Structure 1
Amino acid sequence: MLRWIALVLLLVLIGLQVKLWTGNGGVREVESLRASVKKQADDNARLLQRNQALGADVDDLKHGEQAVEARARAELGLVKPGETFYQVVEKPGAASSVAPPPPSTPSNGP
């Protein structure tokens, strides 16, 4: 009789182990969920940094004339009165190892 009880308990233990490792809510699913949570936390951290950078950019544009002027020069080609605009154009086919200057470089006139 004692042997039968030990055998039944052993079978129950084996059944519970199988359910633990392969069943719904088992070890595999928990590891998968942990990986998903870690990936989401990394994405959230990256997006938080991007949002902070964009917030700083918005604050600069709201409160600083220099940021607005820099954007206008870079994106719209702003040239102030009294400044002289110079553009350097290389000859076609002339290859140089030095990086070319930006397309428009306004400078203060004499």
Structure 2
Amino acid sequence: MLRWIALVLLVILIGLQLKLWAGSGGMHEVRGLRAAVQKQTGENDRLLQRNQALAADVSDLKHGEQAVEARARAELGLIKPGETFYQVVERPAGSASASAPPTGDGGGH
């Protein structure tokens, strides 16, 4: 009789272990859910930082003329009355040697 009880308990234990490791809601699914939660937490942190930066920009634009002026200068090319605008255009690296004066070694003497 004791052997039958031990055998039934062993079968129940094996069945529970199978359900725990391979069944629905088992360890495999828990690992997948933990990975998904970790990934979503990272995404939430990234979006939170972006939202904080945007909120700071909005606050600056609402409360300070300097921020509005700086953005207008950078994005729209604002020039105040009395200011002189200078634009410096750098030559590309390849065209600098093409526009150099000749060296004088192609002479006829």
Instruction: Output the TM-score relative to the length of structure 1.
Output: 0.79
| Cα distance change, pair 27–91 in 1 and its aligned pair in 2 (3 A) | closer
User: In the alignment, is residue 24 of structure 1 matched against residue 16 of structure 2?
Assistant: no
d(CA) in 1 for partners of 2:25, 2:75: 55
Q: Match for residue 54 of structure 2?
A: 54
How many residues are matched?
Answer: 95
Q: How well do the aligned residues superpose, as a CA RMSD in angstroms? A: 1.5
Q: Larger relative CO (CA 8 A, sep 6+): 1 or 2?
A: 1
Q: Match for residue 78 of structure 1?
A: 78
Q: Which runs of 5+ in 2 are unaligned?
A: 98-109
Q: Which residues in structure 2 correspond to 1:28-39 (within 5 Å)? A: 28-39=28-39
d(CA) in 2 for partners of 1:90, 1:10: 82
How far does residue 7 in structure 1 lie from its aligned partner after superposition? 1.3
Q: Match for residue 96 of structure 2?
A: 94
Instruction: Output the TM-score relative to the length of structure 2.
Output: 0.79
- Report which of the two has the higher share of helix: 2
How far does residue 89 in structure 1 lie from its aligned partner after superposition? 2.1
**Could you say what secondary structure the match of 1:85 adopts?**
coil
d(CA) in 2 for partners of 1:72, 1:12: 74
Q: Which residues in structure 2 correspond to 1:34-45 (within 5 Å)? A: 34-45=34-45
Identical-residue share of aligned pairs (%): 78
Higher alpha-carbon Rg: 2
**Deviation per residue, 1:11-69 (Å, 9 max, x gap):** 11111100111111111111111111111111111111110110000011111111111
